[in-house]
Amino acid sequence: MAATITKALEMRKPIPRRASSERLVASVICMIRKLKSGEYRLYSRKKNPTTGKRRNLGTFSSLEKAKQHERAVQFFKRH
């Protein structure tokens, strides 16, 4: 019986997982858009069900500042 359990565990393939930094970059890039003025705007991840639009969470002069604010927003939501 122990042999069958070990064999079953050996056959099980690990689930591929993304690195947390990949998830962060992927989620940030799709919610930060570059404006014609050269600034970056951060949008909410969820759409408003009634209007179908995303909430503006701020406009920033650089992409790094927008990413930093996105991390702050996510931290605030979970703490």
Would residue 69 count as lying in a domain? yes
Would residue 57 count as lying in a domain? yes
Beta-carbon contacts of residue 53 (< 8 Å; ≥ 6 apart) = 47
- If one counts every other C-beta atom within 10 angstroms of the C-beta of residue 40, the result is 20
Q: What is the structure's pLDDT at 28?
A: 44
pTM exceeds 0.75 for this model: no
Domain coverage including residue 64: 34-79
The larger pLDDT score, comparing residue 49 to residue 13, is at: 49
What are the pLDDT digits (tens) for 49-72?
Answer: 999 999 999 999 999 999 999 999
Number of domains into which the chain is organized = 1
CA distance 11 to 74: 38
Would residue 24 count as lying in a domain? no
pLDDT band at 77 (very low <50, low <70, confident <90, very high): confident
CA distance 75 to 79: 6
Would residue 44 count as lying in a domain? yes
Would residue 77 count as lying in a domain? yes
